[in-house]
Amino acid sequence: MKKTLFAIITILFLGTIARADEGMWIPALLQRNEAEMQAMGMKITADDIYSINHSSMKDAVVLFGGGCTGEIVSEQGLLLTNHHCGYGWIQRHSTMEHDYLTDGFWAMTPEEELACPGLTVTMLKNMVDVTDKILTNVTPETTDEERAEIVSKNIKRLVEEMQKRSEYEVSVESFYQGNQYFLMYNEVFRDIRMVGAPPSNIGKFGGDTDNWVWPRHTGDFSIFRIYVGPDGKPAEYSKDNKTYKPDYHFTISLKGVEEGDFTFVFGYPARTNEYLPAVAVNQEANVIYPVVVDLRTKILDIYNKYQEKDAKVRIQYANKHAGLGNGWKKWMGVIEGIRNFKGIEKKQAFEEAYLDWCMKTRSRIPYMHALKDFTPVYEEYEKYRMATTYFTEAGLSIELIEFAANFAQITEVTKDTPQEEIDELVNALKSAAAVFYKDYYQPIDEEVAIAMLKAYREAQPEDFRPEILNEIDRKFKGNVQSYVDYLFGKTIFTSEEKVNKFLDEFNPSKVKKLEKDPAIVAANSMMDFYVENVMAKSRECNTKINNLRRVYMEGQMKMIPEVYPERNLYPDANFTLRVTYGKVGGFKPKDAVTYRHYTTLDGIMQKENPNIYDYVVTDRLRELYEAKDYGRYADKDGSMHVAFIAGNHTTGGNSGSPILNANGELLGLNFDRTWEGTMSDLIYDPSICKNISVDIRYVLFLIDKYAGCQRLIDEMTIAE
């Protein structure tokens, strides 16, 4: 009796753990989640969220550019996304006279909205399951190679056929590691204009220091608008274009959130790997990430040292720092999360249950093999993964070498190359040089070179190093410093003038000299080694791994519903539109620490430090704070809420996604995750995996009270 009761309790307990919060759901199949969502508090239907028969929320959620999400909030195509998603565009429009990154940008009239040529916004119109069509002619006897060929042929044929009949962009996307396929119809808008952005000390408040961390106080939003041709269809930029009238736009809620409230996030998560075997997670988190973190720590320390000394260098390296720092910090969180929450052990326990299930009938033998065969492949793969990691993270982090690698093509010029082609190459390299040297600081690069070459040389076995590393032993007695002195002393690539002079005088007879340039020698040595000794082997391993993952996934798709009927399966993120849901709430990240679910403007004032770039507060914001001039955007407790956390399963690409309440009204913009839970791309644990959103009331307060851009508030639909 006691035993059964215990079993039931265990099942119930496991059930809630496995279910609540985890999962990124395909909107077209959301009916399956509707009951659970409603039980958690949702007051609308799956059909309100996604429908192809009438307007629904999906008509207001877009892929912003290539890597973020945005949502439409007015009948005039007004679009919200994160500041860090609009960052590149804000920067591109900035000049010395108009520094929108520093000062913010607000189009006070429609005429002031700025065109962003090259920026697109993509909207899903329909998605259809075409698994049967794609897997036609695939049988249990089909080999992996044959299968790959059949699938790619079927995809090509179907896309060609459907594209002829559709005004939208058609593609086929693979789900569940090639076990399910959907045909996607997308509308792509090409005239997108920049409408507003707060200054960086609001939009990026806390900078890289606070990145991935809760409590957070970042006003991470920017505003754009979709324009269309006179016929209402997507068009290239033209001043005659008009604003887009969407089928749906979000209503904004001013009610804020409370602990336990139901929320959902609708957006474009990029990549997750939730169904990997333990060996793979172990390699990723315990072998590769520590190396990357270690290399990046060395580089970032050098950046910091020089950035602190010199304001110009700080700006030059701001973007590089943010890029390296984002992954660096996240992966430290992943390593720690997996250790503290016993990620590998949990995977191993699951695998035991899986193997038990496989042993039950003969037809499951292939599923058993799929899991067991991972081990030798990953063993083989490790050496090549490591070599790739050192090549990209150490070798190519030496900016001089990375830039010199661009000159590979020009070293192939011969006296038979048409002059036109040469001119084109020379011009392209000159423009690349202008971009590169604007943000190049040689003392940083020299120090990085010393640190990276040392690490590269020490870590890789002699027979597995690019020639140039062994040459340091032969010609420089193993003294990296002497080699780096020689490299930077002899190359033309330390100076834009020298590079331009070389390009101006370039003719085929100069190739020989260029080939002897030490930066070119180093670049070639690293690239040749990679191409000849690593790339093909790496690909081979990857193909094997992908095939095993497909079969292992298929096995899990059969096993999980039988063994863990309470657990819903969802496909890994693949840059397609998904819905995820969870409740608002704080959590306990570690012993003795508890996090509340929201932050306020008080926290910004506590963090304020005029001497630290990331924590500067503008006078205007301080005045509004001191006057408590929050208008209708104040919380009912009288304070200004800035950000909040909830248990939505999000990942990269979800930035800018709308976070919505039980009625489907906009509560805020998703922009990050908490550091303790960054392992959620590999293993999700609802007790620590939380998404961070900026409160929409803070966004409106900034547009209205801070920027005085009332016209934007007027066009939104706001529920008091």
Residues of this chain that bind ligand ASP (CB under 6 A): 650-655, 671-673
Q: Is 681 in the site for ligand ARG (CB under 6 A)?
A: no
Q: Write down the H helix ranges in 93-228.
A: 100-103, 131-134, 144-165, 200-203, 207-210
Residue 654 binds: one of ligand ARG, ligand ASP, none (C-beta under 5 to 8 A by kind): ligand ASP
- Smaller CB distance to ligand ARG: residue 84 or 347? 84
Q: Is 208 in the site for ligand ARG (CB under 6 A)?
A: yes
Q: Is 525 in the site for ligand ARG (CB under 6 A)?
A: no
Task: List all residues 6 or more positions away from 25 whose beta carbon is below 8 Å from its beta carbon.
Answer: 32, 33, 570, 578, 579, 580
Question: Closest distance between ligand ARG and the C-beta of residue 657, in Å?
Answer: 12
Per CB under 6 A, the list member of 196, 652, 658, 686 interacting with ligand ARG is 652
* CB of 249 closer than 8 Å to CB of 75: yes
Residue 578 binds: one of ligand ASP, ligand ARG, none (C-beta under 5 to 8 A by kind): none
Q: Residue type for 339, please?
A: R
Residue 122 binds: one of ligand ARG, ligand ASP, none (C-beta under 5 to 8 A by kind): none
Q: Is 315 in the site for ligand ARG (CB under 6 A)?
A: no
Q: How far apart are CA 40 and CA 662, in angstroms?
A: 9
Q: Is 690 in the site for ligand ARG (CB under 6 A)?
A: no
Task: List all residues 6 or more positions away from 250 whose beta carbon is below 8 Å from its beta carbon.
Answer: 57, 60, 71, 72, 73, 658, 660, 664, 665, 666, 717
Per CB under 6 A, the list member of 89, 106, 181, 212 interacting with ligand ARG is 212
Question: Closest distance between ligand ASP and the C-beta of residue 653, in Å?
Answer: 5
**Chain Cα centroid distance, residue 203:** 18
Among all residues, which ones are annotated catalytic?
84, 220, 655
Question: Closest distance between ligand ASP and the C-beta of residue 239, in Å?
Answer: 32
The residue nearest ligand ASP at its CB is: 655
Question: Closest distance between ligand ASP and the C-beta of residue 192, in Å?
Answer: 18
Q: How far apart are CA 631 and CA 394, in angstroms?
A: 52
Residue 528: Cβ within 10 Å count: 13
Residue 650 binds: one of ligand ARG, ligand ASP, none (C-beta under 5 to 8 A by kind): ligand ASP
Task: List all residues 6 or more positions away from 20 whose beta carbon is below 8 Å from its beta carbon.
Answer: 40, 582, 583, 647, 686
Q: What is the CA radius of gyration of the chain?
A: 27
DSSP string of 565-595? Answer: TTPPP-PPP-SS-EEEEEEB--EEEETTEEE
- Count of residues touching ligand ARG (by CB under 6 A): 11
Task: List all residues 6 or more positions away from 328 whose beta carbon is below 8 Å from its beta carbon.
Answer: 292, 293, 296, 297, 300
Residue 354 binds: one of ligand ARG, ligand ASP, none (C-beta under 5 to 8 A by kind): none
Per CB under 6 A, the list member of 517, 672, 676, 704 interacting with ligand ARG is 672
Neighbour-count burial of 650, counting CB atoms closer than 10 A to its CB (0-12 exposed, 13-18 middle, 19+ buried): buried
* CB of 698 closer than 8 Å to CB of 259: no
* CB of 240 closer than 8 Å to CB of 654: no
Question: Closest distance between ligand ARG and the C-beta of residue 429, in Å?
Answer: 30
Q: How far apart are CA 553 and CA 263, in angstroms?
A: 29
Residue 211 binds: one of ligand ASP, ligand ARG, none (C-beta under 5 to 8 A by kind): ligand ARG
- Provide the strand spans (E) within 433-533: none
* CB of 683 closer than 8 Å to CB of 302: no
Which range touches ligand ARG (CB under 6 A), out of 208-216, 271-279, 497-505, 575-583? 208-216
Residue 207 binds: one of ligand ASP, ligand ARG, none (C-beta under 5 to 8 A by kind): ligand ARG
Per CB under 6 A, the list member of 108, 128, 322, 368 interacting with ligand ARG is 322
Which range touches ligand ARG (CB under 6 A), out of 3-11, 204-212, 523-531, 585-593? 204-212
- Smaller CB distance to ligand ASP: residue 316 or 648? 648
Task: List all residues 6 or more positions away from 198 whose beta carbon is below 8 Å from its beta carbon.
Answer: 83, 104, 219, 221, 222, 702, 706, 707
Residue 322 binds: one of ligand ARG, ligand ASP, none (C-beta under 5 to 8 A by kind): ligand ARG
Question: Closest distance between ligand ASP and the C-beta of residue 322, in Å?
Answer: 11
- Smaller CB distance to ligand ARG: residue 328 or 391? 328
For residue 343, which phi and psi values (nearest 5 degrees)?
-60, -45
Residue numbers at the binding site for ligand ARG (CB under 6 A): 84, 204, 207-208, 211-212, 322, 326, 652, 655, 672
